[in-house]
Amino acid sequence: MPQTVNNENEYRITRSKGAHQQIENPLNTNSQDPFYVNQNSSSSDAPLVSVDTRQYLGDISNQTGAGLASKQAKAVSTTNTNTNAARRRPLGGDNAPLQQQKLARTSQNSNTGSTQSIAFKTSTTTITTTTTASASRNVTDSASVPIAPSSSSSSTSSTVANELIVPSRMPQKRQATESSTNLVEKLHLTSTSSSNNSNTVSYKKSRLIDYEWQDLDEEDVDDPLMASEYVNDIMHYFYELESRMLPDSEYLFKQTHLKPKMRSILVDWLVEMHLKFRLLPESLFLAINLMDRFMSLEVVQIDKLQLLATGSLFIAAKYEEVFSPSVKNYAYFTDGSYSEGEILQAEKFILTVLNFDLNYPNPMNFLRRISKADDYDVQSRTLGKYLLEITAIDYKFIGYKPSLCCASAMYLARLILGKTPVWNGNLIHYSGGYRVNDMKVCVELIFQYLISPVEHDEFFKKYATRKFMKASILCRSWAKRFRTEGKDLFDEKMSTHRLTLDS
């Protein structure tokens, strides 16, 4: 008697029982379907739910007259793949991977006659399928199903091939993992062979070094903020970049309305605004670089110089600061000379002329790098900041590399503090390879600025405070005393290419 389903839960139970019976007896051709519900029967307790009959691949194979071999193959594959059928539908349904689809098409095209055997491997007549069960069951690694020659059509062969396909996701992931692993191994072997063929083993030994130095970056291996693995590559990139970002050293003499004295007044006012907003030193160096590079490309009127400096500092603060001052503050600091709209228009024009290239290797990065060889001494770092800022303010240093200016500033700072040796192997290495002979011109220009009368009042007052250890007063008094004593700035006895003078 046909079964009736009273509600949805009973329908699910009846359906699961029928599925188990279908799996246990795959060769049973009984016409009574467990999922068939007689629509003519009725129940007084609950309304009747009718369900359409469902045909299975086993019934289709029986109706088409396939051999027992295809039925046995279906029984093995159905047992292991019923639990994964619902999972594979969201990931593409029952579609096979591209490789298996191509293999199925090849086997289908090979059936040119009415009687031909189905085989995925030409050497044998055995198909090995790898199936995966759910997490609660044991994993079946492989199942070998013999396929006997049959006289089925090409559609029957494709049906059997689709029944025995491997689940699509797991083999794809394994193949991708294996291929990427093999690729990494090949690259590793290639790099190893190339390094063995060449004489250079690492970046440090790729140069001809005739001075002694210590690897101070090894101390920072456990500190991810110091980036000791990449610091050599970073600094090497900075040394290449600084040459490209330099302004024209002769642009002041090419400007028709601009003179060096005007730039000195403009930069001194820029230092005052920078100090008023309490910005970082990086912002000041970037603003001066933007201003010089802009004037190297464009002719600027005298009445627009202050607007250029304001727009440059506005851009630099946006680039370097965490909290940049509002455009209202810049407009207020100009005493109403320029409105907010004019400053914003100047910002757009400056960035357009410079092609939005703000990748300037800041001199503070080089100074911090040299300070590692100086054992991060606070006094020499403070004096070095003052001397380094001189190279940004004075027009005579336009066109000098930031790394050279930093090395010269650190050399003079150590000379003022009386440290011995003034320059050693570690300082040569961490400054970028600058020797004393390489810094002579830049050091002499800084020394001439110190013994000259004060030209930038705001800059002098800035470093005359206790916050900067009165660096401007100390350096100027030392320079005048050093000159009167007639000493040599580049005494060979105070410098060495080794770590100490005694070694």
Most confident by average pLDDT, 66-80, 204-218, 403-417:
403-417
Which amino acid belongs to residue 77?
S
Most confident by average pLDDT, 7-16, 31-40, 402-411:
402-411
Average pLDDT over residues 486-497: 86
Specify the pLDDT at position 348: 95
Specify the pLDDT at position 22: 53
The answer to whether the CB of 187 falls within 8 A of the CB of 141 is no
Coil, strand or helix at 310: helix
Domain chopping of the chain, boundaries: 231-245+361-503, 247-360
Residue-wise pLDDT for 12-68, tens only, equals 556 656 555 555 454 444 444 444 444 444 444 444 444 444 444 444 445 544 445
Q: Which residue in 183, 171, 166, 163 sits closest to 75, CA to CA?
A: 163
Q: Which CATH class is domain 247-360?
A: mainly alpha
Q: Which residue in 289, 431, 267 sits closest to 360, CA to CA?
A: 289
Which of 184 and 479 is assigned the larger pLDDT?
479
Q: Which residue in 448, 461, 373, 449 sits closest to 411, CA to CA?
A: 373
Q: Which residue in 58, 53, 51 sits closest to 24, CA to CA?
A: 58
Q: Do domains 231-245+361-503 and 247-360 have the same CATH topology?
A: yes
Question: Does residue 397 have a pLDDT over 60?
Answer: yes
Which of 9 and 448 is assigned the larger pLDDT?
448
Specify the pLDDT at position 481: 94
How many angstroms separate the CA atoms of 31 and 288, rounded?
A: 92
The set of residues, in sequence order, having a beta carbon less than 8 Å from that of 384 and lying 6+ positions away, is: 367, 370, 371, 406, 409, 410, 413
The answer to which of 200-204, 337-341, 447-451 has the lowest mean pLDDT is 200-204
* Rounded (to 5) percent helix, strand, coil in the chain: 60, 0, 40
Mean pLDDT, the chain, rounded, equals: 73
The answer to which of 152-166, 216-230, 408-422 has the lowest mean pLDDT is 152-166
The set of residues, in sequence order, having a beta carbon less than 8 Å from that of 461 and lying 6+ positions away, is: none
* Domain with residues 231-245+361-503, CATH architecture: Orthogonal Bundle (1.10)
Name the strand (E) or helix (H) holding 143: strand 143-146
Of the pLDDT bands very low, low, confident and very high (cuts 50, 70, 90), residue 462 is very high
Question: Does residue 86 have a pLDDT over 50?
Answer: no
Average pLDDT over residues 327-345: 93
Which of 101 and 468 is assigned the larger pLDDT?
468
Of the pLDDT bands very low, low, confident and very high (cuts 50, 70, 90), residue 474 is very high
Most confident by average pLDDT, 8-17, 420-429, 440-449:
440-449
- Residue 352: how many CB atoms within 10 A of its CB? 9
Of the pLDDT bands very low, low, confident and very high (cuts 50, 70, 90), residue 180 is very low
